[in-house]
Chains A and B, each alone.
Chain A
Amino acid sequence: MAFITGPMRKHVNGHKELTSHAEVVKVDAGSKVLIPLINMGSTTVEVLVKEGDRVKVGTKVAVRNDHFKVPLYSSVSGTVKGIEKVMHASLRPVDHLAIENDGKYEEEAPLKPIDPNSASVEELVDFMMEAGIVGCGGAGFPTYIKYKGIKGIETLIINAVECEPYITADYKQMHESLNELKVGVSTMKKMCKAAKAYVCIKETKKDFIPTLIETFKEFNDIEVKAVPDVYPMGWERTLVYEVTKKRYDKLPSEIGVVVNNASTAIAFAHAMLCGMPIVKKMVTVSGDAVNTPCNVEVPVGVSAAEVIKACGGYTAEDVLLIAGGPMMGKTITSDAFVITPYSNALTVLKNTPVEQVPCLRCGKCSDHCPAGLQPVRINNAEKAKNIDALKKLDVMSCIECGLCTYICPSKIDVTEGVRRAKRYMSLQKK
């Protein structure tokens, strides 16, 4: 129905070639790592170790302890040094557990490996929770929640789309861990009892699709599905609609769908096979202001500064340092923040000035909004502080994907205007 809604998506230049075929660089932790004591905005985290304690790679050091349970693990071996408040990748100061690295990387497998074929679904869900598996697409949502007591699922969608520009971490991770991907996907499919699973990847990844098909050849109910190279194809709603042609109100489970990221499946399989939770991450370091764009394999808790240094440092004096991709990632004004269990990219861009001109009401933002909103109308209603209009315009459905700012030919910060509207709405409700 693009005639009356617009295409609701857009091809963007991904610059994936910068890193997709570059060698993966292994980055070691420095003398200290900082484990962020936060998950998805919740800082209700209980610390399980105290200053002076000795920890190993894989020691459980803390656990998120509210309605979700997410354990956090040490990524190095060494001594606990206490708690520090540092800027986090979500752009707020957060408590971090400081661990002095002894450089030995002594391991302690905190989990007993589990056989996905013989284990029951309940055991697998418990294992998933205990392993601290979170959505590795960037959100960090505890994965076990999607599988706990779930019923009526027909389709499992594995999201390997990676629609953010510059990022190739999932692509690289899949390259290196085909067996884990296979085990992870088939186990997730078993856990949600879906009849069919789709591994979705952009149709432009022509070199890799045959490998994926080969990997899943033995399963006749797991299909590799090529999807268009558009943004935000990797957003849950857009991807579910592309695969099933159905829309849902709040959660995809309403229409019998579970969605997980490919690297989440790999992390899960890795935990099942080796008993090791997420202590290392594949992170894309790219952009036009970093010396050697590449993917790095880096322990959780290592600072962005150390990672960028390993990639040859910055190439400009004034940069935008983005935790994540340039569309949804936040710019952070210091490179002291650290890699989290769900980080997937650092994008470094030259800070080039943007010249704005008046809005010509072209409507491209409304045409392309993947949520079906009208950013130009929302911006106008926000300026007029018209709360009724904002309600009618369904402002709170905005996911801040950034496509409206991206596409605006007048170079207006449209997304930021919608954010202002959302903040205004929230304040009015209180």
Chain B
Amino acid sequence: MKFTFKPSPNYRDTLSTGRIMMELTAGLLVVFAFTLVLYATNADYGASYAIRAVFLMVAAVVTACVTEILWCLATKKDILSTLKSSYPWVTGIILALMCQVNIDVYALIASTIIAIVFGKLVFGGFGQNIFNPAAVGRAVIFASFSGKVAADFVTGATPTSTIASNGWLVANNSINVILDQFGGLGNLFIGNYPGAMGETSALIILLVGAFLAWRKVIDWRVPVTYLATLFIITLLIGTLHGVGFWYPLYHLLTGGAMFGAVFMMTDPVTNPTSAPGRILFAIGCAVLTVIIRIKANLPEGVLYSILLMNMMTPMIEKLTDGNQIKMMKKNLVSIGIFFVAGVAIACACSLGMEAQEISGPSVQAQGNVYTIEAKGYQGTNVFEVEVENGAVVRVECVTFEDTLGIGDNATSEDYLNSFVGKTLNDEFDIVSGASYTSNSVIEAVQSALEAAGK
């Protein structure tokens, strides 16, 4: 007979970290599966895109696991037990879901390695990292590999890149030009439009998020606070500029706001542990998302807001430390001040903005030669495109209004000639560093091809 001593309590809940991570994995895979169905049933995409998406997902997950295994070998740790308590595949899956299906697989593999090593392992492994590893990986792609995409007309412009090129604020009478391109707000909710593999469908993300919150896998406070704050700020900005109710909805439904809120801000390792801390964290993310979007003209406001708030986590923790019953008033005041100040700053940032009137590229046809005006970085560039049998014969830049020395890389003869022979189903390159101008070229070519096809 043996009476063992163990400190009390000797009673444990059934919920384990392993189960939390497995359910999170399952939730992410449901989102991915929904994307595959969208791709397979989409007339423009088709099964080949779904297969490519699966290929990318496998590449990211395998890379994440192999990186972790190599790290174990290098640091002489037990591989199996480390893998079981380090969950590298979650980082791989999230990173893949944040990428577009046309990303170069080597770019994805390289950034997965960086995400696992520099996002997590160098800090001491799971539980010790400061930044969300997947966000680190995505930022690396955005900073270093944004040209490494097999661009084509189908996956070209996303809702965020389109509105970002118009300064994130579009006049009421012009919004339909953008919305029509992506099937309206309803389709933005369902998610059948070009964008990152897991980020497009608000519908499935919300469903999975609600399930995970119910299963206590994620903390519901974070997405609720984030989305509510984002909605309030953008509603105010919209109202300030006489823009309609579509504006806050556009902010919520696009650019990974939903995905970030449900799957990335809720990463417990990199957000504060206290309830008021998490509320402050989510408010901070919402404010930064808006500021980055409208001030930096970036489509990736959500991602950078998360990385920036990750840095603030230790500070927020210190602020909310203490007996939460005695601190309740102080915490409420902190949250109130932070919220009001954040909303005010974000709205103030929008003051210099003007809602832009936009129209689609204007197309004038003369036989099989199309003259197209397309918006570039600063001004409007005019192109002549000659089309024969659904393929490009000649592209010429007639008027160039963008920055000399930068934008004109995308109107070079070499680049314009690279479109010769292309059809609507072909892939093409974009010029990194001159994405606005190359987008205007692509838009011109696409418009010409579409006009010729009619």
Identify the A interface with B (CB < 8 A): 1, 3-6, 10, 12, 165, 247, 314, 317-322, 326-335, 349, 351, 354, 357-364, 366-367, 369, 371-374, 376-377, 389, 392-394, 397, 400, 402-403, 405-411, 413, 415-416, 419
Contacts and interface: CB of A to CB of B under 8 A. Distances in A.
A389 B319 CA distance: 11
B322 A394 contact: yes
Given A4-B279, A371-B325, A389-B321, A363 B4 contact: no
Given A371-B325, A394-B326, A411-B16, 7 more contacts: A326-B9, A359-B127, A360-B127, A363-B275, A366-B324, A402-B8, A405-B12
A394 B326 CA distance: 10
A3 to B, nearest CB: 7
Contact of B8 (A319, A327, A407): A327
Contact of A358 (B127, B279, B332): B127
A354 B7 CA distance: 13
B321 to A, nearest CB: 5
B3 A331 contact: yes
Interface stretch (B42-50, B166-174, B266-274, B367-375): B266-274
A5 B328 contact: yes
Contacts of B126: 358, 360
A413 B7 contact: yes
B125 interface: yes
A375 B331 CA distance: 18
Nearest to A369: B324
Contacts of B216: 364
Interface in B263-298: 268-269, 271-276, 278-279
Nearest to A376: B273
A245 to B, nearest CB: 13
A328 B2 CA distance: 21
Interface in B305-343: 317, 321-328, 331-332, 335
B454 interface: no
B4 A351 contact: yes
B366 interface: no
A317 B328 contact: no
Contacts of B327: 372
Given A360-B126, A361-B268, A394-B322, A326 B3 contact: no
Contacts of B16: 409-411
Contacts of B127: 358-361
A220 B18 CA distance: 52
Contacts of B128: 358
A322 B269 CA distance: 35
Greatest chain B CB density within 10 A among A328, A331, A393, A403 is at A331
Interface string B1-35: 11111111111110111111000000000000000
Nearest to A322: B10
Interface in B170-184: none
Contacts of B272: 363
Nearest to B278: A363
A90 to B, nearest CB: 12
Contacts of B335: 4
Contact of B5 (A331, A363, A409): A331
9 tightest A-B CB contacts, nearest first: A402-B9, A372-B325, A363-B273, A372-B324, A326-B11, A394-B323, A358-B127, A357-B85, A362-B268
B141 to A, nearest CB: 26
Contact of A331 (B6, B85, B325): B6
Given A362-B268, A377-B317, A409-B16, A320 B10 contact: yes
Contact of A363 (B12, B274, B326, B331): B274
B221 interface: yes
B17 A406 contact: no
Contacts of B221: 3
Given A1-B328, A361-B268, A333 B3 contact: yes
Contacts of A407: 13, 15
A349 B10 contact: yes
A326 B7 CA distance: 10
Contact of B321 (A330, A349, A374, A402): A374
B275 A330 contact: no
Contact of B275 (A4, A10, A371): A4
17 contacts: A4-B276, A321-B3, A331-B10, A332-B3, A335-B3, A361-B271, A361-B273, A363-B219, A363-B274, A364-B216, A377-B321, A389-B321, A392-B321, A407-B15, A409-B13, A410-B17, A413-B7
B331 A4 contact: yes
Greatest chain A CB density within 10 A among B274, B276, B335 is at B274
